Amino acid sequence: MSSAARWSVVVLVLAIAGVVALWPRTPDEPTPEVPRSQRTTASPEDVRQARDRAALRPCPRGEGGPPQLRGVTAVCMSDGGTVDVASALSGRALVNFWAPWCVPCREELRVLDEYAQQPGSVPVLAVQVRSKEEDGLELLADLGVRLPSVVDEADAVRKALHAPNALPASVVLAADGSSRLVTDPTVFTSVEQVREVVG
């Protein structure tokens, strides 16, 4: 087959595909459902079901908080509401940045959740970045991690705390609102390490 004939076949196939795609449908024709794995955005029902399955602890709410976070908001993953991040972090706290695609984040989230349930622990807030909320909820449910969590679609929390792009990343907030990036260890692997870092 010559090159011109091949191109003619390609153009003909594309023309037919275009006509089929644009052909008007009658109201009785059902719209084919896109498999969940191929959807680019989750439906509200998908997100609600993922929230129910994850069963996260509620996002904390208080007064004041670190001045660098005042006015910064994020979506609370336990209920889908907007939370003022400064008020969620009043007093001493540990902020952990993670994403579902980050492999070391998985072990660290389990460790942080275990730490957060210990008597005398400082509050831990997990901040999901650079990923879809539904993916994060599904991972937390699979891991059995119930940490209070927010999804930071605008990346505003990370920027306000000057956390690096590399994940996972953790920041310790002092009662006076000052913050300190955790550099040793770069990934928490035990509750004892978390205790030592937060003091």
Whether pLDDT at 39 is above 50: no
Question: What residues form DSSP beta bridges with 95?
Answer: 125, 171
Is the pLDDT confidence value at 151 over 90? yes
- What does the angle CA 128 – CA 82 – CA 89 come to, to the nearest 5 degrees? 65
Report DSSP letters for 14-38, one per residue.
Answer: HHHHHHHHHSPPPTTSPPPPPPGGG
Strands 149-151 and 93-98: unpaired
Task: Report the DSSP pairing between strands 82-84 and 169-173.
Answer: unpaired
Q: Given pLDDT bands bounded at 50, 70 and 90, which one contains residue 41? A: confident
| Average pLDDT of the chain, as a whole number | 86
Q: What is the mean pLDDT of residues 19-43?
A: 50
Q: Using a cut of 0.85, tell me whether the model's pTM lies above it.
A: no
Please give the pLDDT value at position 125. 97
By C-alpha distance, which of 61, 117, 116 is closest to 90?
61
pLDDT tens figures, 66-121: 999 999 999 999 999 999 999 989 889 999 999 999 999 999 999 999 999 999 99
171: which strand partners? Answer: 95, 181
